[in-house]
């Protein structure tokens, strides 16, 4: 099914592939696009840090892309790299990093922040890409045919916050070759904290005191690169995985969501993603 919507699109201005590059406003203009549900749901990873002055502009671009392709682009903000390391004192003492996010940053050889990946697939010969290339990479990725479907079923009862149960069903739509993994992440929105900034179009400079962090990676439920689904794809089978997780007392369950994605175990390319709010 194709749905017609009026959303946001990006200008042409690009950005050099260097560390902590600056993006120029405006970040978006009005455009009408078609979201095609027969195509893949794309994973956009924004590797960011609270002390990266160019990261707020990059995150604005990532969030506008998620709005542009609403429902077809899923954003994860991963705090990792030099600019995410907390200070011993002062405004920037909060540690937003996760072990899995740091491992991804290192394993995929990201240079600095802001950088990211689209479906963990190379674009123009590069796997980690600067924020100025995200729009072009996403515009190609959303045209790929859907080869798997994902559905997330979450069981959370208010008052028993320590346990979250989720079942993810995966069905392959094509007889793919290779081994495929399922990775399940917990994200949190509406986290308020300090953020370095050098763009007045985004907020005050040089610091934003009440910056709103969204889509922040909080945990991975089943290992850095997930759990194996199958080494031999069967298109007649539904692959189900259930996880029970203890939530941190510091997280707000009303702002939590689950993101699941299926990837090739060898190439790490993501072939399908899904997102579900913990409390709708």
CA–CA dist 41, 32 (Å, integer): 19
Q: CB atoms < 10 A from the CB of 166, how many?
A: 21
The predicted pLDDT at position 7 comes to 38
The predicted pLDDT at position 163 comes to 83
Which neighbouring-strand residues pair with 261? 183, 273
Domain membership of residue 109 as a residue range: 2-277
Mean pLDDT, residues 174-189: 97
Mean pLDDT, residues 93-111: 97
In this predicted model, what pLDDT tens digit does every residue of 10-41 receive, in sequence order? Answer: 442 333 333 444 444 444 443 556 677 789 99
Sequence-distant (≥ 6) Cβ neighbours of residue 268 within 8 angstroms: 108, 120, 225
In this predicted model, what pLDDT tens digit does every residue of 60-88 receive, in sequence order? Answer: 999 999 999 988 999 999 999 999 999 99
In this predicted model, what pLDDT tens digit does every residue of 129-165 receive, in sequence order? Answer: 999 999 999 999 999 999 999 999 999 877 766 789 9
Residue 162's domain is classified under what CATH number? 2.60.40.10
- In the block, tokens 């945990």 appear at 219
Which neighbouring-strand residues pair with 213? 191
Sign of CA dihedral 110, 112, 118, 122: negative
The predicted pLDDT at position 134 comes to 97
Count: domains in the chain: 1
Mean pLDDT, residues 227-244: 96
Q: CB atoms < 10 A from the CB of 208, how many?
A: 17
The predicted pLDDT at position 24 comes to 45
């Amino acid at each position: 099914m194709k749905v017609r919507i009026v959303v946001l699109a990006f200008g042409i201005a690009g950005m050099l592939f260097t560390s902590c590059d600056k993006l120029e406003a405006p970040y978006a203009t009005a455009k009408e696009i078609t979201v095609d549900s027969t195509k893949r749901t794309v994973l956009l990873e924004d590797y960011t840090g609270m002390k990266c002055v160019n990261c707020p502009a990059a995150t604005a671009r990532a969030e506008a892309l998620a709005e542009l392709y609403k429902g077809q682009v899923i954003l994860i903000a991963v705090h990792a790299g030099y600019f995410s390391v907390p200070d011993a004192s002062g405004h920037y003492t909060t540690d937003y990093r996760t072990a899995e996010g740091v491992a991804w940053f290192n394993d995929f050889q990201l240079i600095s922040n802001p950088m990211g990946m689209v479906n963990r697939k190379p674009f123009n010969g590069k796997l980690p890409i600067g924020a100025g290339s995200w729009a072009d990479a996403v515009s190609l990725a959303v045209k790929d045919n859907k080869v798997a479907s994902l559905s997330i079923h979450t069981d959370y009862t208010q008052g028993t916050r320590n346990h979250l149960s989720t079942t993810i069903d995966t069905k392959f739509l094509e007889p793919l070759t290779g081994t495929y993994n399922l990775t399940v992440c917990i994200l949190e929105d509406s986290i308020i904290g300090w953020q370095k900034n050098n763009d007045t179009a985004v907020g005050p400079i040089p610091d934003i005191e009440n910056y709103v962090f969204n889509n922040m990676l909080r945990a991975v439920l089943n290992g850095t690169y997930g759990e194996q689904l199958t080494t031999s794809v069967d298109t007649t089978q539904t692959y189900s995985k259930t996880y029970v997780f203890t939530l941190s007392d510091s997280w707000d369950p009303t702002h939590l969501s689950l993101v699941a994605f299926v990837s090739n175990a060898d190439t790490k390319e993501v072939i399908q993603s899904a997102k579900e709010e913990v409390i709708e």
